[in-house]
Amino acid sequence: MSESLMPRALVLGSTSRYRRELLSRLRLPFETAAPDVDETPQPGESPAALALRLALAKAHAVAAQYPDAIVIGSDQVADLHGQPLGKPMVHDKAVEQLRAMSGQSMQFHTAVAVVCKASGFAQADTAVVRTVFRPLDDAEIERYLRAETPYDCAGSAKSEGLGITLLDAIESDDPTALIGLPLIRTARLLRAAGLLLP
C-alpha cells in the first residue's frame, strides 16, 4: 500500500483516563499525548465558548507535534447558571460545588475537536448535557465524596458511578458526553476527517 493510502495515525490529545476509555470503544488504534494548553477562562467567556476554545486549542497543540496524524482534543465545562465550574481537585472545593449544585438544573458543555495539520482538516462540535441534581444535605455530600473521591471531574460527580444517585435527570443526545467525550460527535468528525468507522 502506498504511503498516501495508508490510514493516518490517531492521537488523543488528552491524559484523561475517562476519555481514553471512551475512545477505546471505537476499536481504533490510537496513542495519547498531553496537550500543553492554558485552561484559564478569558474575561467574560461563557462556559460553552470556553469548552469549544479549549478543545480546539488542545487538538491544535498536539497536532503541531503530530502533523501527519488525526488528533482529537476535548474539553468539558460544567455550567451552573452561566458560571463555569472546573475540577475541584480537593475535598473542600468539591463540597462547595455540590452544595451549590444541590436542587439545581445545570449544563455540561463537552466539546470535541478533530484536527489534521497535514490535510488541513479542523472541525469541532459541542454536546450539551442538562442535568438536574436532587436536593442534597451535607451528610449525603460527605458520604458521596468519601466513597468516590471525584476530585478530577468537572462538577464533582461521576454519573457513570455512584454520582448517578445525586441526580434526578440527565438529558443529552450524545450519552457519553457527560463522562467526557461525546462519541457520536467524535465518530462523525473522525469520518469527516477520513477514518473508516466501524
In 3D space, the residue among 110, 137, 138 whose CA is nearest the CA of residue 124 turns out to be 110
Calculate mean pLDDT across residues 130-139: 97
197, part of any domain: no
% pLDDT > 90, the chain: 92
Residue 33 lies in a domain: yes
Q: How many domains, the chain?
A: 1
pLDDT of 100 higher than 90: yes
Q: What is the dihedral of CA 35, 41, 46, 51, to 10 degrees?
A: 10
Mean pLDDT, residues 150-158 taken together: 92
Q: What is the mean pLDDT of the chain?
A: 94
Q: Is 174 a catalytic residue?
A: no
- Domain of residue 44 covers 3-192
What mean pLDDT is predicted for residues 19-44? 95
- Domain assignment present for residue 85? The answer is yes
C-alpha cell at 150: 471525584
Catalytic residue among 68, 75, 125, 174: 75
Statement: residue 159 has pLDDT above 80: yes
Task: Give the CATH number for residue 164.
Answer: 3.90.950.10
Residue 167 is assigned to a structural domain of this protein = yes
Residue 89 lies in a domain: yes
pLDDT at position 6, please?
Answer: 67
User: Does residue 146 belong to any structural domain of this protein?
Assistant: yes
Helix (H) or strand (E) holding 128: strand 121-133
pLDDT digits (tens, 9 = 90+) for 103-127: 999 999 999 999 999 999 999 999 9
CA 90 to chain centre: 20
Amino acid identity, position 14: S
Within a domain: 198: no
